[in-house]
Amino acid sequence: MEQQIPSFLLRNDLSVLLDLLVADGYQLHGPQVQDGAITYASITALSDLPVGYQDQQKPGHYQLESEHNTRFFHWANGPQALKPLLYPAREVLWQAKRNASGSIQFIVPEQAIEKVAVIGVKACDLAALKLQDQHFLQGEYVDPGYQARREGLLLVAVNCSYAASTCFCVSTGDGPSAESGFDLALTELDEGFLVVADSEKGARFLTRLPLQDATAQQLDEASQQHETVTAMQTRRLEPIAVGQLNDAREHPQWQDIADRCLACGNCTMVCPTCFCHHQNDELVMKGDESQHIREWDSCFGESHGQLAGFQVRDTVKARYQQWMIHKLDSWQEQYGRSGCTGCGRCMSWCPAEIDFVAEANIIGGSDE
Amino acid sequence: MNKLAQSNFQAPLSATVEAFIQESPSIFTLRLQLCDSAARDEYSFMPGQFNMLYLFGIGEVPISIVSDPADSTLIDHTIRVVGRVTEGLAKLKVGDEVGIRGPFGRGWPLALARDKDLLIVTGGLGCAPVVAAINFALNRRAHYENIHIVQGVKHSDDLIWREQYDRWNRMNGVEVLLAADAAGPAWPFHTGQITELLDQVSLADDNCLVLICGPEGMMKAAAEKLIDDGISPFSIYVSLERNMQCAVGHCGHCQMGPDFLCKDGPVFVYPDVRHRLMQEGI
């Protein structure tokens, strides 16, 4: 869908959009401050949004500060965005019931489509969503749960006006502004928002909003803001060719990282594109019913590469290689691009302060 | 892709144990039949493909199908006891029920072996994925030229299906060569590496297909030896193994480089995986 010239929505009229979405049957999800971080959860009103907050991030560090501005979205990101909504950390895949005669019946839970609108999605997370769509929907097998949740999703993106020191979406080509894959996109200015639609669904809401024509000054301000936030990103992931990191498995830096890495798996949990999960059975106490569960898993765990009598990756070095080589190198062969969208979460939430970008640049040879 | 696997990939279909065959103290074969007659009619597979077998309340394991696809109503799985699920499966009795998801993966390209010499190299205990290919080829003997079966075991006591090897060896145009890294006193076959046996095989170098299954080091050694002897790497296929849980390329455990072994494999043409075999941590 061709994007039109943005229209202007007054700051407090964002609540009109929320009301329209609710009237249309959508549950609202959006950013809010929870446990000292910006988290996406259920919201009911504009007052739930993190007004005036800003995040200071660097490897091993995340700190929210109140900036006393009136912006809703003048922050970079928090530990999670869309992934837990579409691909829950824990999910029942099926239920097995055994009757007295020993017959087993398998029951797959119904996947009802629930309408969920997410307000304030960042460009890096939209790019990550496209990658999760490729993984769960566009291969040989379609994941029914993901598909149902995806169909009910409406995305209101927000172009970034602020970058944390961990942000590097400019170098991965995924931000700081949302270019596609959303229903509506907002550019936040001090007095309100420039709004565009990128889907029929989004356009239907656009026509019902109290919009004004955007002034030349507002359009100019928006493009200035884009330039400013682009320039704010000093962190840069240098391009990596297919096979480049895999061919560098002997690089001494891997062991240097492994000596610092705790193999805790935090990076994989906060990564918006990581898809690994394990499947387990949980038998109910009576013994006649069992739940087959899938839960997020990490390539840093011991069981990830374990098979009968053989451990594929028995060192932290081998596991770190799996994580980084897969994400930046072999992912390109799987999905046609790198699996990294530049959100920087793997660094902020790393308790060992490992700088993923700096390490990749060293191993890739662009920062000897 | 198999239509049934597509529709039932998410949850298993129930199946009954029709026969339980003890092959050795730790290896057994489960003959399973799907309970639902429509599913039974629709089920089909190729040698080298696998099913996820579900033991109630415990979990699933990937197991190769060893029986002939001509009869897809009785599906044989030869299983070695190695963990929680296989220990439980070993205790099943005729009439018990389990779950089946499948079949999954790409099997052996036996159609490419038509009118060619077929060399099947296997190491380890029985190596079920190639037994399926051997049975398939022997049941269609006229489709192939000479068939060579080369089997290696760690210790001569590990060899199962000895009678079966004897029977195959007596068939016209079928040669069976056995080797044990370490042998007991009454071992009449080769003692040493499987690669040493490959010198004894006389193969039509430019008209053959080679299928290899076993530990990665053995597959690599055998394939490289054959390539040195003049066989095209593109005539060599290997079956690889990794942790498989979802079987549909979603859970990520079976990744090897860019491939998800469960759906892109487990069988690969050798040049596609040559550089990866025995690479640490891949």
Chain A residues with CB-CB distance to B242 below 8 A: 305, 307, 312
Mean pLDDT score of chain B: 91
In a domain, A250, yes or no: yes
Quick one: pLDDT at residue A124?
Answer: 98
Quick one: pLDDT at residue B187?
Answer: 86
Strands A27-34 and A212-213, by their bridges, are: unpaired
In a domain, A279, yes or no: yes
CB atoms within 10 A of CB B190: 17
Quick one: pLDDT at residue A367?
Answer: 65
Q: Please spell the DSSP secondary structure of A247-258, one letter per residue.
A: GGTT-THHHHHH
In which element (H, E) is residue A199 found?
none
**Residues A225, A215: contact at Cβ < 8 Å?**
no
d(CA A338, CA A320): 17
CB atoms within 10 A of CB B82: 14
Chain B touched by A313 (CB under 8 Å): yes
Q: How far is A114 from chain B (nearest CA, A)?
A: 21
Residue with tokens 């039974």: B40
- Nearest 5°: phi and psi at A360? -65, -40
pLDDT bracket for residue B2 (50, 70, 90): low
Q: How far is A210 from chain B (nearest CA, A)?
A: 44
Same domain? For A46 and A20 the reply is yes
- The count of domains in chain A is 2
Higher pLDDT, B163 or B12: B12
In this structure, whether the domain defined by B110-273 belongs to CATH 3.40.50.80 is answered with yes
d(CA B113, CA A64): 65
In a domain, A241, yes or no: no
**A248 residue type, one letter:** A
B3-104 belongs to which CATH class?
mainly beta
**Residues A96, B57: contact at Cβ < 8 Å?**
yes
Q: How far is A341 from chain B (nearest CA, A)?
A: 19
ipTM comes to 0.92
Is the pLDDT at B16 greater than 90? The verdict is yes
Same domain? For A187 and A328 the reply is no
Closest CA to A265 of A279, A255, A280, A278: A278
In a domain, A61, yes or no: yes
Same domain? For A183 and A297 the reply is no
What token pair was written down for A150? 């995806």
Give pTM, 2 decimals.
0.94
Is the pLDDT at B39 greater than 70? The verdict is yes
CB contact under 8 A, B258 and A306: no
Q: Choose the final residue of a domain: A190, A208, A232.
A: A232
- How many residues does the structure list for chain A? 368
d(CA B205, CA B144): 15
Residue with tokens 């970079």: A76
Output the CA–CA distances (angstroms, integers) from residue B281 to A36, A275, A356, B173, in the order listed.
38, 19, 19, 41
Q: Choose the final residue of a domain: A232, A266, A299.
A: A232
Residues in contact with A285: Cβ distance below 8 Å, sequence separation at least 6, in sequence order:
none
Of A172-181, B160-169, B207-216, B266-275, the one with minimum mean pLDDT is: B160-169
Same domain? For A254 and A279 the reply is yes
Segments forming the whole domain that contains residue A26: 7-232
Quick one: pLDDT at residue B125?
Answer: 64
Chain B residues with CB-CB distance to A100 below 8 A: none
The 10s digit of each residue's pLDDT in A232-274 is 999 999 999 999 999 999 999 999 999 999 999 999 999 999 9
Quick one: pLDDT at residue A368?
Answer: 52
CB atoms within 10 A of CB A20: 15
Q: Choose the final residue of a domain: A167, A200, A232.
A: A232
CB atoms within 10 A of CB A210: 11
In a domain, A1, yes or no: no
CB contact under 8 A, A141 and B57: no
**Residues B31, B51: contact at Cβ < 8 Å?**
no
- Nearest 5°: phi and psi at A278? -110, 165
Please identify every stretch of chain A with a pLDDT value under 50, giving residue numbers as ranges: none
Residue with tokens 């060893």: B66
CATH 2.40.30.10 domain range(s) in chain B: 3-104
Same domain? For A90 and A195 the reply is yes
**Residues B116, B164: contact at Cβ < 8 Å?**
no
B24-53: average pLDDT: 93
CATH 3.40.50.80 domain range(s) in chain B: 110-273
**Residues in a beta bridge with A193:** A9, A188
Same domain? For A300 and A219 the reply is no
